[in-house]
Amino acid sequence: MSNNILIGVDGSDSSSRAMDFAAEMCRETGASLLVAYIIEWSPFTFNTAEENEARHQRREEELARAQAGVIDPLLAKLEKRGVEARGMVRHGKPVVALAQIAEDEHVAQIVVGRRGESHIGGLLFGSLTGGLLQVAPVPVTVVP
């Protein structure tokens, strides 16, 4: 079994607490951390080649902004704490994307915060957390 831990981040306070928890777990066990930021992306399509090109360009710009503004600063903090980590940014539905990353990267577990940035999420668990508990291929640790 892998000694990698996947954490889904979104910039929320809950996500920050989950990051601290996962980083400490990695420091204690020698595991490496995979930090993932998922940009929700609408599944509908456009009709013209120009619209499709503009959409592709927006996606690439979003990926670059998220890498520079979210992932890179987190990786720098983790490095200072002595945690081996790498990051990735993906487009898609967060539940599906995190479950797929977990499977593709053969992680041992997923760590997420209980509630994310969304104010529409469930009352007990955020929509991401509840969905991930249902479909994740590995154990999920939920940090309050």
Is 0.95 surpassed by the pTM of this model? no
Phi then psi dihedrals of residue 20, to 5 deg:
-60, -45
Kindly state the tokens that stand for 18.
Answer: 């989950």
Mean pLDDT for 122-126 is 46
Ordered structural domains, the chain, with CATH: 4-143 (3.40.50.620)
Residues 31-71 pLDDT 10s: 999 999 999 876 566 567 787 778 878 889 999 999 999 99
Q: Quote the strand ranges of the chain, DSSP E.
A: 4-9, 32-39, 85-91, 109-113, 140-143
Residues 29-40 pLDDT 10s: 999 999 999 998
Mean pLDDT rounded to a whole number for the chain: 87
CA distance 111 to 34: 10
What does the DSSP 8-state code read for residue 2?
Answer: -
